[in-house]
């Protein structure tokens, strides 16, 4: 590192800019496919209703985070146009074209992605309440100030990415240590692979590994999240003692974080959370350049702009820093309207059993003597013989919210409307499912049945081919019909 210029982090900048842009592309694609049936004009939680409430008074407007749709009336067509426009910008950034221009060009591109996605997430309600939404927003904002390909990345922005990784990893580690006992007695991963929101193709194999391996996983998680993040800042030592291998230390720390995240990618479906962590962890991977003569400079105006961003973050980061060491640590919390310098964390407790709500329908007139058939979701378990699929970094929002339902005390409003949409055989809603047992026709009744699911043992799998075993059947929602 050479003062304002992080000359050894050109490769890191390439990964950050292109990787974050690729994640925005996935996020807008997910929104394009799912926002309208979930939150559109005829959605389960219509965004226009929220906007009408929020814009009815100044105090309510302040409760809503910034969104274009308080100034421009929401319509599904405008939502689609916003998604396609930002997907085009993200694709250009993935290719690298804006990065060939002066630094203000990629800055504008990333700020457009940031502003566009904030406009969507701000009205996304419970379907956009995940921690990786604000992570993507913060990463996109920082990426706007990484500069162009013909100059080294600014030191202050690279350091801010380290600070983001630190809050993400160390915050998650502290949440675990302060959370459920299973993280302290090293048993958490004896359950997690089976009970996580959306298992992947290798989750069952990971769950069936011996207990000593699962204890090792927890120890490795604590090491990667509570100790390693401090070493991300090691390259700053090169500013004072350049003869020591500070860059190598930071790169090793980043590699450890990347490897642990890859294990999570292999064994689960956490939307873009793990992929975003991998991408931003590359900010600490340094590739030394041969000589000072080959080092281009950074324009003065860009030094001023990025220094101002550094000062802004110095001010905004105090609540997040204090939160890391607070007795009542907040998880996935934002301390300002722009969702910058946030607090992160996940899975402070691990559920010990998997409860699934299975939605069934029938075309029979008499529900008491009916032949009930199950609706199948794309990601969440239903069919006992179906191996879970890999969807991440794509985000199946309906499937994720279905996992949270059994953890609550009552059924949420959106779920009631979801059942109504099934009774109506609403095409947009049915497209979010893997299989409609009525092939587009209206059922006479729907109901919800609760089961406990667990992974089949190796012996059970050999005998029947089952991936899942379920029991403890309980009718949660009695038959519902339109007009009944």
pLDDT digits (tens, 9 = 90+) for 369-382: 999 999 999 999 99
Q: What does the pLDDT read at residue 397?
A: 97
CA distances from 297 to 3, 7, 229 (A): 11, 9, 29
Q: Which residues pair with 177 in a beta bridge?
A: none
CB 192 within 8 A of CB 347: yes
Q: CA torsion sign, 33 to 38 to 43 to 45?
A: negative
Entry pTM: 0.96
CB 216 within 8 A of CB 188: no
Indicate the pairing of strand 445-455 with strand 354-362.
Answer: antiparallel
Buried/exposed 57-95: b ≥16 CB within 10 Å, e otherwise = eeeeeeebbebbbbeeebebeebeebbeebbebbeebbe
Report residues of the chain scoring pLDDT below 70.
290-295, 409, 484
Q: What does the pLDDT read at residue 443?
A: 97
Q: What whole-number distance in Å separates Cα of residue 365 and Cα of residue 373? A: 14
Buried/exposed 464-479: b ≥16 CB within 10 Å, e otherwise = eebbbbbeeeeebbeb
CA distances from 124 to 117, 131, 330, 426 (A): 10, 13, 21, 21
Q: CA torsion sign, 327 to 333 to 335 to 341?
A: positive
Q: What whole-number distance in Å separates Cα of residue 249 and Cα of residue 252? A: 5
CA distances from 379 to 17, 386, 418 (A): 30, 10, 17
Q: What whole-number distance in Å separates Cα of residue 446 and Cα of residue 360? A: 6
CB 61 within 8 A of CB 54: yes
CA distances from 333 to 66, 125, 180, 296, 351 (A): 16, 15, 20, 39, 22
Residue 376, preceding bond cis, omega within 30 degrees?
no
């Amino acid at each position: 590192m050479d003062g304002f210029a992080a000359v050894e982090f050109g490769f890191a900048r390439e990964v950050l800019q292109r990787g974050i842009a690729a994640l925005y592309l996935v996020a807008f694609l997910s929104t394009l496919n799912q926002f309208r049936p979930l939150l559109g004009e005829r959605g389960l939680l219509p965004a226009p209703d929220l906007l009408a409430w929020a814009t009815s008074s100044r105090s309510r407007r302040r409760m809503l985070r910034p969104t274009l749709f308080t100034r421009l009336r929401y319509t599904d067509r405008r939502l689609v146009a916003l998604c396609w426009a930002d997907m085009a910008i993200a694709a250009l950034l993935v290719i690298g074209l804006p990065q060939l221009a002066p630094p203000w060009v990629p800055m504008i591109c990333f700020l457009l992605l940031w502003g566009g996605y904030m406009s969507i997430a701000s009205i996304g309600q419970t379907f956009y309440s995940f921690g990786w939404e604000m992570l993507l927003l913060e990463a996109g904002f920082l990426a706007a100030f990484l500069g162009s390909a013909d100059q080294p990345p600014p030191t202050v922005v690279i350091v801010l990415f380290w600070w983001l990784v630190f809050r993400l990893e160390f915050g998650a580690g502290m949440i675990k240590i302060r959370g459920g006992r299973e993280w302290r007695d090293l048993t958490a991963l004896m359950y997690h692979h089976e009970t996580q929101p959306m298992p992947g193709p290798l989750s069952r194999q990971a769950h069936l590994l011996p207990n000593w391996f699962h204890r090792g996983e927890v120890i490795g998680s604590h090491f990667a999240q509570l100790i390693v993040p401090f070493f991300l800042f090691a390259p700053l030592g090169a500013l004072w003692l350049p003869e020591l291998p500070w860059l190598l230390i930071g790169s090793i720390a980043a590699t450890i974080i990347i490897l642990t995240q890859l294990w999570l990618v292999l064994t689960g479906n956490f939307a873009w959370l793990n992929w975003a962590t991998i991408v931003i962890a590359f900010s600490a991977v340094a590739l030394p350049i041969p000589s000072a003569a080959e080092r281009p400079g950074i324009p003065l105006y860009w030094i001023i702009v990025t220094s101002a961003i550094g000062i802004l973050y110095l001010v905004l980061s105090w609540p997040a820093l204090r939160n890391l060491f607070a007795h009542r640590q907040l998880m996935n919390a934002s301390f300002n309207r722009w969702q910058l310098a946030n607090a992160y964390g996940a899975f402070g407790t691990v559920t010990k059993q998997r409860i699934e709500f299975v939605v069934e329908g029938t075309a029979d007139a008499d529900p008491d003597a009916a032949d009930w058939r199950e609706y199948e979701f794309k990601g969440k378990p239903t069919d006992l013989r179906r191996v879970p699929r890999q969807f991440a970094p794509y985000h199946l929002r309906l499937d994720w919210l279905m996992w949270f339902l059994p953890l609550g005390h009552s059924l949420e409003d959106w779920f009631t409307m979801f059942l109504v949409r099934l009774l109506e055989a609403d095409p947009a809603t049915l497209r979010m499912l893997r299989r409609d047992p009525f092939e587009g026709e209206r059922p006479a009744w729907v109901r919800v049945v609760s089961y406990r699911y667990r992974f089949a043992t190796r012996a059970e799998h050999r005998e029947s081919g089952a991936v899942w075993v379920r029991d403890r059947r309980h009718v949660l929602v009695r038959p519902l019909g339109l007009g009944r």
